[in-house]
Amino acid sequence: MKRIVLDTNVVVSAFLVPDGKPAAILRLAMRGDYEVCFCTAILAEYEQVLCRPKFAVKIPHSTIHRFFELLRNMGTDIISVPSIIEMPDETDRIFYDTAKASGALLITGNTRHFPDEPFVLTPHQFIESHIN
């Protein structure tokens, strides 16, 4: 099974735009077509961002709770070693390192925040190269 790591912006977009590409990717992952890899720090970031007041009116708490329940049951918790590669945005290192350690594709809306690597894809690139 193909492994993926979802950047927080992809997860948030999936909830805010249900007919968009990030939502389609999340649906594929939640039905078991892709193995979602994460680490404790990624889960903490998802929760911190999804629970922001600006999203509380748009994303029901029950939806967020169900997402975490599915992720913990169907995903894979990865322990990675911090890389020493230079990162354009240090806060994104956990996503890069988790993808690298698990052999996963990293799906992000901000490819400029990551090193230019073939496993770092936008949602559009992922759908074009892995779904169609």
User: Beta partners for 120?
Assistant: 106
37: left (phi over 0), alpha (psi -120 to 50) or beta: beta
CA distance 109 to 14: 11
pTM: 0.94
Residue 33 tokens read as: 């077509």
Q: What is the mean pLDDT of each run of 10 residues along the chain (132 residues)?
A: 94 96 94 94 96 89 93 93 89 96 97 94 94 68
Q: CATH homologous superfamily of domain 3-131? A: 5'-nuclease (3.40.50.1010)
Q: Where are the domains of the chain?
A: 3-131
The helix (H) or strand (E) run that includes residue 17 is none
